[in-house]
Amino acid sequence: MAGMSGISGKVVAVTGASSGIGAATARLLAERGAAVVLGARRIERLDQVVQEIRDDGGLAVGCGVDVTRRLDSRRLVAAAVAAFGRLDVLVSNAGISKIGPMADLDVDGWEAMIDVNLRGVLYGIAAALPVFRRQGRGHLVTTVSTAGLKIVPTQAVYAATKNAVRTLLEGLRQESTDGVVRTTAVSPGFVRTELADSIDNPEVREQIVRSRDAFAISPDAVARAIAFAIEQPDDVEIGDITIRPAVQG
């Protein structure tokens, strides 16, 4: 029963919510009784997901968000508070993967990953923390990656952005032992999403797409892991979840 769940009645904002892990998470949480606020750049896709959730009887609103713009994160948090009176959880899920050998010297790609994967998470934290402090509780759930746990060629800068986020979440966790703010880092391995579409190097993209099509898990699996972290009682913090295909090396 939804009423028994630690998710029912919570207000959750999700970035990167127009597809992949973000859309799957928003759908699952709404199904379990949360009010969801979806943020993404692709407004048409976003509106579609919001409409699907509403058609299924869920509570959802959409908000155009580019996480590289500080004000957009503030707008997302404000939209949650305006629509539902509070914000319980921010799922910072927007991410891009401009991977390739460092010798490609894709400095624009490096900067884009830093802007979305790191700066975007920081902007989300900056927007949500004051609301969490005011309410006396809140939960930051951030999509990291197994790329930071096992360093491989072509993913040096991508992994670096993910490990920067891992580090800042651990620092924030230690600053938040008053029990007001919980932090959870979710590190997915290969998941069937559109992340590979952001890879410019054709050989690397083809290789990633091959692996993805061969053994990637569904975004729904990651959504269930995120839901598990969110539904815990307030005094329980799930710090890290690593979730990957059972056959991933």
Mean pLDDT of the chain: 95
Q: Kindly list the catalytic residues.
A: 158
Question: 195 is in which domain, residue-wise?
Answer: 2-242
Q: Which helix (H) or strand (E) holds 30?
A: helix 20-31
pLDDT tens sequence across 154-178: 999 999 999 999 999 999 999 999 9
Confidence of residue 200 (pLDDT cuts 50, 70, 90): confident
Confidence of residue 1 (pLDDT cuts 50, 70, 90): very low
Question: Measured between alpha carbons, how far is 211 from 215 in angstroms, rounded to an integer?
Answer: 6
* Maximum Cα interatomic distance, the chain, rounded to a whole number of Å: 54
The answer as to whether 248 is a domain residue is no
Q: Nearest-CA neighbor of 59 among 16, 94, 13, 120?
A: 13
Q: What is the pLDDT of residue 162?
A: 98
- If one counts the domains in the chain, the total is 1
Question: Measured between alpha carbons, how far is 124 from 143 in angstroms, rounded to an integer?
Answer: 12
**CATH number assigned to the domain comprising residue 132:** 3.40.50.720
Residue 9 has pLDDT above 90, yes or no: yes
The DSSP code sequence of 88-125 is -EEEE---------GGG--HHHHHHHIIIIIIHHHHHH
The answer as to whether 141 is a domain residue is yes
The answer as to whether 162 is a domain residue is yes
The answer as to whether 158 is a domain residue is yes
* Average pLDDT over every residue of 38-63: 98
Q: What is the pLDDT of residue 249?
A: 85
The answer as to whether 10 is a domain residue is yes
117-131, 140-154, 189-203: least confident range: 189-203
The answer as to whether 131 is a domain residue is yes
Percentage with pLDDT > 90 across the chain: 90
The answer as to whether 247 is a domain residue is no
pLDDT tens sequence across 78-103: 999 999 999 999 999 999 999 999 99
- Specify the pTM: 0.95
